[in-house]
Every structure is written in structure tokens, then in C-alpha cells.
Amino acid sequence: MHYRYVIVGGGLAAAAAIEGIRSQDADGSILLFSRENHLPYRRTPLTKEMWAGSMKLEDLAVHPEGFYEAHKVDVRLRREIVEMDSEHKILWDDRGDSVGFDHALIVTGCRPRRLQAQGADSPSVRYFRALEDFLALEQSMDHIQHVTTVGGGFVALELAATLRARGKEVTMIFPEEWPLHRILPRELGLAVVDYLRSMDIETVSGETIVEVIEEGNGIVRGRTYGGNTLATQVILVDQGSEAQVDLAEAANLDTDDGIVVDEYGRCSRPGFWAAGDVAEFPYLALGQLERVEGAEHAEKHGFCVGANMAGAGTPYTHLPLKW
């Protein structure tokens, strides 16, 4: 089977790329592969509106289900691409099916950095990025009273606040003196710590967990670098993320902090493109290569690169917004 366009990844950049392709090419065949169980959806509400109850599961979808059929897009969910031949432009999924293509867009996004601790493979240690992570945590809420977050990123902060609003006891452990250490100056960072404490969230700065011990009866004990111990029921890890470049590396595409692309989204080999969180692109306003994570960038970059796959020839000049 052969497609004009193959998209590997099922996030916001993938959904936007379909719009970009169709803005230039109304009929070229498109195949979308996604490892997830769901059509492309928005991730940011998973730490915000979904916990507050102001958004429902069906509201997360980027497009209604009928969009893909109406735009002549074949979708294969629960599929992992395991091999890609960059010379002959063929890829294989985890079921052994092969597909030929003219253009392949890699939008595999990021994966959470793992907790480097003894016992970190415990089922009580969880990461939070996908809809399945939200569903698993939401379904266990009735049986959980205490949650510990490890790391000082946006996800840890938002989950700590929303879970506390749900009446859960929360302990935050972060390695620096204050969370968002690379973004906030000290005065503002310490003000955030004070705000968390005003919500009765316990904060532990300058620490991380080095050992996880399952004690049974739903209790897990964590030992910190400083030798302290804590008892909790769930450990949510937010230590940042890293671009998923494994497939690109196997296909001999240039990678650095992400998959290296030019201002049009083209990779180092003809017929290959990358966009969104996984792509390291020329940030024209800064005059340097950058990799930017975030929904707004994924949407804008995905659309631009999708249009370029179909011949638009438009450089990506957008200034990504973070909020």
C-alpha cells in the first residue's frame, strides 16, 4: 500500500498538519498512525479543566470524528512505527504491516524523563502526559488520599493545585529552592512556594526521591536524597521531557536536541519532515536552532509544515507563545 503523505504521531501537530496539507492538496492520500487509543486531542486541559469539571472528555478532540473521513484521511490507532527505510521510503508498524510513501511527517512529540531511583518501576510511580494517564489517575481518586509530586515543572504545579482542590493531601518535592527554577526569578519563585503552602500543600525543596519501597495496602514509601522518608499512595513524576527521536535516528535523519529541520520543516533526507515538540527548527527571530514544547507552537508549526509537504514553500516565522 502506498500513500502520498504518512503522518507518524497522533497529537496536535499531526491534526494541524492534516489541515495544512488539505489547504494545498485536496485529494492526496493521507495516512495517520497513532500509538494512542484516541484521535488527536488537546493535552493542556488534562492538568486543568478536566480536573475542575469544566470540560468533558468529548471536548478534548481537536476535530470531530467525521473530520477525518470527510478529509479523506485513513487513521490507524494503537499502532507503533518500529522501522523506517529512508532510502526506499517504506515504514513498518508493530503488526508487521508495511506502507510506502512520498512524504513522511514525524510528529512523535516527547516522553517524560524517568525517575532515576531504586524501585522506580513500582506501579505507584506514574508519569502524566497522555489522556490514558489522566483516566488512570481519575479512576483511582476515590481510593487515594495522599499524592506526592516529584519535580518543579508546570505539570507538577498544576496537578498539585488541582488535586488539593479535590481535597487530597499533596506533598511537592523539587530539586531546587523553588519550582520553575529556570523560568522564575528567586523572589517570584519563593512567592509561588508561599502560595502553595497557603493551600496546605507541603513543599520540600532541594530534594528528590532516590528509593521507592512498596509497603502493601496501597502505601508506598519514598526515601529522599537527604535521607528523609515519606509515606504516600501515588508518586507523580514531572522531571521534564525529551524528544522522541528514536525513529528518526534509526532512519539516519540528523538529530540534536530533537529532529533537525530547516525553516520549511524538511529533515536531512528528502521526503522526510518533522514538526511540533520533536522538531529542532531555525528560530528565525533569534537566529538559532530551537526546540519548543507547547500546544500553540505544535499547532502553528504542524500546519505550516503540512502545507509545505504539499508544496506551499512557506518558511516558519511564527513566534511561539507559552502560557
- Residues of the chain falling short of pLDDT 50: none
> In sequence order, what are the residues at sequence separation of 6 or more whose Cβ sits closer than 8 angstroms to the Cβ of residue 38?
10, 60, 61, 77, 131
Element (H, E) at 125: strand 125-127
**Residue 323: its pLDDT value, please?**
66
pLDDT of residue 289: 95
pLDDT for 53 equals 86
Taking the alpha carbons at both ends of the chain, their separation in whole angstroms is: 42
Count Cα neighbours of 36 within 13 Å in the Cβ-side half-sphere.
Answer: 21
Q: Which pLDDT belongs to residue 206? A: 95
Q: pTM of the entire structure?
A: 0.93
| pLDDT for 322 | 72
pLDDT in tens, 196-230: 999 999 999 999 999 999 988 889 999 999 999 99
Per residue in 30-67, is it b (16+ CB within 10 Å) or e — as a string? bbbbbbbebbbbbbbbbbebbbeeeeeeeebebbeeeb
**Phi, psi dihedral angles at 125 (to 5 degrees):** -90, 120
Give the integer Cα–Cα distance in Å for 147 and 158.
13
Predicted pLDDT at 14 = 98
The C-alpha atoms of residue 265 and residue 35 are separated, in whole angstroms, by: 22
Q: What length is written for the chain?
A: 323
